[in-house]
Amino acid sequence: MSSESPPTLERDECAKLLDTLLNNASTSKKRRKAVRNHCMAVLMLDAGLRVGELVSLRLSSLYFNNVPVRSIFIKSHMTKNKVEHSIPVSDRLSDCLRSYFSTWFLTDLVNGSDFAFTNVSTDRPITTRQIERIICAAGWTALGRPVHPHVLRHTFASRLMRVTNSSTVQGMLGHKYLSSTQIYCHPNEDDKRQAIESASNTPDQSGTPLSPQKDQPQPDEPMNPGPAPAAPRGRYPAYHH
């Protein structure tokens, strides 16, 4: 197992990235692209999809009777390791799927493709390279650095690992081996920060917080030994000057 945790995004970084993807629209055509790109990013952040799985999705994978499904089922031919798996749809993802459907499939611009994500003006499915460019460009704009789509999957997995067990995470990621999932057991910067905050606010056994008290000497302050104890009478001679 690797000694390093995979790169992830913090919550505020995710918000900035998604906001950049959704609000980068000045025309109706760009608006459609923005809604599509935002939905793809949320699928990776909230369902942990690989890019290859994302481009393989059909409309039937995401909608039933024009309504977002409750779980996304990834078939074996869509995955790189041939492991089928399903992921429950979060409330945020469900909202994104509704918005995407109303923007792309309830207009006169509907094409004849059954792929879930296509180019704006053709029925050709979007490619993995296009998604990489979209997410990378949004990362530069939002965070000042490129973001690979797989970082969104890493972020999904790392968040899951904090609230459930490894076997559950393995199932939702579609990992064949548990060892592949255990790389997410390593703490990230969010975990370390929360641990420090919790430790500094945890009281000791007397109920007192573990922060330094004013009446206690600080590490940089010398201890005041006070007056030396008097010598017992009769043992030492008295010296008079």
Type of residue at 39: C
pLDDT confidence bin for 25, thresholds 50/70/90? confident
Looking at residue 172, its pLDDT comes to: 81
39: how many CB neighbours lie within 10 A of its CB?
Answer: 25
Looking at residue 239, its pLDDT comes to: 35
What digits encode the pLDDT tens for the residues 112-127?
A: 578 999 988 778 899 9
Looking at residue 237, its pLDDT comes to: 41
pLDDT confidence bin for 241, thresholds 50/70/90? very low
What's the average model confidence in pLDDT over 45-63?
94
How many whole angstroms separate alpha carbon 150 and alpha carbon 45?
9
Type of residue at 216: Q
Q: Which CATH superfamily is domain 11-185 in?
A: Intergrase catalytic core (1.10.443.10)
pLDDT at 240 over 50: no
Looking at residue 155, its pLDDT comes to: 92
Give the tokens for residue 124. Answer: 């050709």
Q: Is 83 exposed, middle or buried (0-12, 13-18, 19+ CB in 10 A)?
A: middle
Stated pTM of the model: 0.73
How many whole angstroms separate alpha carbon 123 and alpha carbon 117?
9
How many whole angstroms separate alpha carbon 86 and alpha carbon 63?
14
Looking at residue 1, its pLDDT comes to: 46
**pLDDT, mean over the chain:** 80
Give the tokens for residue 84. Answer: 């089928």
What's the average model confidence in pLDDT over 190-200?
72
Looking at residue 187, its pLDDT comes to: 63
Q: Is 2 exposed, middle or buried (0-12, 13-18, 19+ CB in 10 A)?
A: exposed
What digits encode the pLDDT tens for the residues 145-158?
A: 999 999 999 999 88
Q: Is 188 exposed, middle or buried (0-12, 13-18, 19+ CB in 10 A)?
A: buried
Looking at residue 197, its pLDDT comes to: 76
For the chain, domain boundaries: 11-185
Beta bridge mates, 58 = 115
What's the average model confidence in pLDDT over 71-88?
89
